[in-house]
Structure 1
Amino acid sequence: MKKTAALTSALLLGACASPLTRIEPVPATENISQICIKENTKVFMDDFLPEVRKQIEERNIKTELLTPNAVCEYVMSYDAQWSWDWFWTFSVYLSLAEFSVTKNNQQIGMASYTAGLGPAAIGRTQNKIRPLLIELFRK
């Protein structure tokens, strides 16, 4: 009985450690050369938006910030949250990232990341969002 309880506990802890990702890629038929990004002023990490733009532009898609007068066929919105790791490293880590791509106000792609528990959650933000953006804009 003790072995079964220990094995069950280990499996549950292992499952909690894995990040959860969900990606619905932009259809390959969409030839995006430029995308407007709707800035989320509630995201307080200064380097998040520049990193997102950099990674999208690495995929040969020009980015610009959405302005009230902008006419943009493709728009991306995002959200991100950070949490404190009080147990492993006593540092801040990306705990949630969400991206949504719309064309003419209809969602055509999305990606989300939710960190798991434990040391696997710790790491550079750019490395956490790179797989999301690669898959979101894959062709």
Structure 2
Amino acid sequence: MRRIDLIVVHCSATRCNQSFPVTALIRCHADRFGFTGYHYYITRDGTVTQTRHEQLIGAHARGYNSHSLGVCYEGGLDKEGQPADTRTRNQKRSLLSLLKKLKRAHPEARILGHRDLPGVHKACPCFDAQNEYQDL
């Protein structure tokens, strides 16, 4: 059984006015990695899809994949393509619910945004996940 001590929150880095359904994510990651790199994906309507089994190592945070889970929400860019917190009300609810569930299953895990990892120079997930979920 894989020991999980980190839950990394990501955005898909897609514009808020363009659809990026789970099928597109899977196809994009299959082309890039040969498999889906995130463990969970949350679309704009709040639907949570497990895209990779938790016991399988993902491809979402270089240097941290072996002991982390990757959770991604659809969006992260405004209409002009600039980083922004584009989470819908439904995404916020679903993300909070999923993170609570994951923390119950992996109580030692810290929740961080991708941008909070050392050496990462991205805005992802385009909001302060570490601060928002620090009390979980």
TM value normalised by structure 2: 0.26
Q: Which has the higher strand share?
A: 1
* Higher gyration radius (CA): 1
TM value normalised by structure 1: 0.26
